[in-house]
Structure 1
């Protein structure tokens, strides 16, 4: 009996031991997974904390560079101001903010076209906050008013002020200023448009319905009733007096004679001989034609680039293209 019991106990232990080992291995695996998850979570939290700290540090450095730029501009050192803004551009994670401050600096220098371009870069930022968006529209409209000149400029200023009001990012003071400048831009646009219409009408040919001024007629001679016949005859002009056309003779009217051939001007008649085209067309080979077309394309490209530089100013190679 004892032998049989020992055999049963050994058999039971042989069955239980693998189960215990499996349970222990599972517990160890779960413990390892929990440890790995905790380590990953700690790594993520540590990375986020370091990233937030680096972002705060970068924002603080950008504010310092912007303040240095304003101080240099007030001190009359534009090169130092531009260098400070350039450093802020390289360190910022929000280039639209630095572009906004650069536009303010250009406006302070009364370079309204350059300031307008900087505010356009602010408006091109898809992540621009609503408050900055409204102020950028307002500042661009003010730059356009300062430039002025033609009706298209004032019309664009009207659009800028209207969008600044529609953005909802202006406070009460700037909202009132935007409404005032909106009405001012409308008045200036209407005045320039009327002036352009008058100038355009002056260059148009007169229509057939316009009233022409009456011809200037000399007053009739004063013939008094008590004047003598001799006095009347003396006062009347002679038929052969110089400067007056001869009076027609009484009788049948003379037949109209055709104009003389010498009085009709001939086409091309004049003192100078017309220029004659005596040049001959020089044929070009296919190679010469390709060279000529290539030179023409390069010249047109240079002219187009020169026109763009004239309209938008020189290229800025030190800026980020966002």
Structure 2
């Protein structure tokens, strides 16, 4: 996973990492935006419809091992699960495509349809507005940021009962060469969130405590869907949503089987770097400028974490 060749992207990514770390006081061994998380392991099983849309191996093999990370927002490693700022929640899925684990492709999603700004530079401006106390004016001038902030974000009963939305559009390529633009969605068997009163009765670690308890009773499953773009739908701007009536195709089942032990999970979390760019045959990036920027942010932060890992 290389850094982009565009020096401006790399420079802005570095500023984003430092600004986020400064905003939350995030130690460098943690992610600057979704610091609190937990790794799980499981299996992805595709549908025949997935193979008809994309020739990617994980959509054509009988099954594929996966690593999943559930997370809470902010760069605060110990943010309480009950804190409103911990929403939206995150879900990253790594499809492991080789025995040694070096070949893989990832999906990164969060529990709101919205993303505040179209570019990394715009997101940096939002963070700066928050820092200097002018965020109210910024939201008034940037409707996409206001939509993100104002979207209701109730806390889930479980990470496994939440809905997750991919931010960016991707281009699927079938074995016949047909191209289809999609956005990912991940939906639970039963969507379930808490009322304010219910949340008030929960512990600061209720979500992370609930995961091993849930999986001790058997695997948890979620469905991976693709929302299909139609002609005229914007594919290069994460702030432009497609109409809800667009067709959604079930791509397969995400089966979560075990939660990593706390110590091992922390070590692997420090090491793993999820990649918003698919880098696999059959799935290509759209022209969305956020993709390379997000990849650069994740890699910049990830290299910092790995450098500390080597010192340890």
Alignment TM class, shorter chain as reference: under 0.3
> Structure 1-normalised TM-score?
0.18
Q: Which one has a bigger Cα radius of gyration?
A: 1
Structure (1/2) with the larger helix percentage: 1
Structure (1/2) with the larger strand percentage: 2
> Structure 2-normalised TM-score?
0.19
